[in-house]
Amino acid sequence: MKKTISQATIDRLPLYFRTLQLVESEKTSIISSDELGKRLDITPEQIRKDLATFGQFGRKGIGYDVHELKNKISNILGLHNRWRLAIVGVGHLGGALANYVNFASLGFSVVALFDKDKKIIGTEVNGIKVNAVSSMKKIIDKRAVDIGVITVPATEAQEVADKLIAAGVKGIWNFAPIKLSVPSEIPLVNEDLSIGLSALSYHMSQD
């Protein structure tokens, strides 16, 4: 399947996935787009349109098979890969991410932590020991890390990205407020916590 899917649809898929997980845990085997919509505050039309992008699911007047749909979304998002993460920069944000429980339910696991601060190296966060940045290549290789998470200051982010890629990660999740240069074959997602807050400010300013 090489069809292009809109970013907005991709962003809704994890929400569907998590809701389906919950519904499955409640022993419900069939769900309608109406019910899924009610749980997520998304219109049933939007849900049907999103899911139709990937082929024919669900039966008219009956609904979607919860287990089948959940697995299909997992496959589309690549969650079955059970990606392994390394976080570089174990400050407040890096520490918060190392402890973020939602990742596990989507199949992600944090397997390595790095920092350059001698006071932090050797400490443990959520059962994982913090290693020196200098040992990045060896540890990323040994622990089969797939994704590098960058939570260092903006001034250090490009150097860290270069090191992560040289060490063999296949994707970068960047929290530093800077545009990183990475090879085109390495997917990069930038996260900026100020964007949601600015959107809230915008909505609060309308009357």
Residue from 33, 69, 83, 163 in contact with a copy of itself (CB under 8 A) = 83
Q: Is 187 within 8 Å of 166 (Cβ atoms)?
A: no
- What residues contact 74, with CB distance under 8 A and at least 6 apart? 17, 80, 107
Q: DSSP of 54-74, one letter per residue?
A: TS--SBTTTBEEHHHHHHHHH
Contact with a copy of itself (CB under 8 A): which of 59, 68, 91, 137?
91
The token duo for 21 is: 């997980």
Q: How far is the CB of 146 from a copy of itself (least distance, A)?
A: 7
CB of 61 to a copy of itself, least distance (A): 26
Residue placing its CB nearer to a copy of itself in the complex, 59 or 82: 82
Rounded to a whole number of angstroms, the minimum distance from the CB of residue 94 to a copy of itself is 8
String marking each residue 153-182 x if it binds a copy of itself according to CB under 8 A: -----------------xxxx---x-x---
Q: Which structure tokens are listed for 188?
A: 């990069």
Residue 196 sits in the site that holds a copy of itself (CB under 8 A): yes
Q: 177: closest CA among 147, 153, 149?
A: 153
Rounded Cα distance between 88 and 116, Å, is 9
Among 52, 62, 166, 189, indicate the residue that binds a copy of itself (CB under 8 A): 189
Rounded to a whole number of angstroms, the minimum distance from the CB of residue 118 to a copy of itself is 20
Eight-class DSSP state of 91:
S
- Please tell me the distance from the alpha carbon of residue 9 to that of residue 73, in angstroms, as a whole number: 11
Scan residues 3-42 and list those touching a copy of itself (CB under 8 A).
5, 7-8, 10-11, 13-15, 17-18, 39-41
- The interface region with a copy of itself, picked from 23-31, 47-55, 56-64, 92-100 by CB under 8 A, is 92-100
Could you give the strand order of the β-sheet that contains 109-115, starting from the edge strand earlier in sequence? Answer: 124-125, 128-132, 109-115, 84-88, 147-150, 171-174, 188-190
Q: What is the contact surface with a copy of itself in residues (CB under 8 A)?
A: 2, 5, 7-8, 10-11, 13-15, 17-18, 39-41, 76-79, 81, 83, 91-93, 95-100, 102-103, 106, 108, 146-147, 170-173, 177, 179, 187-206
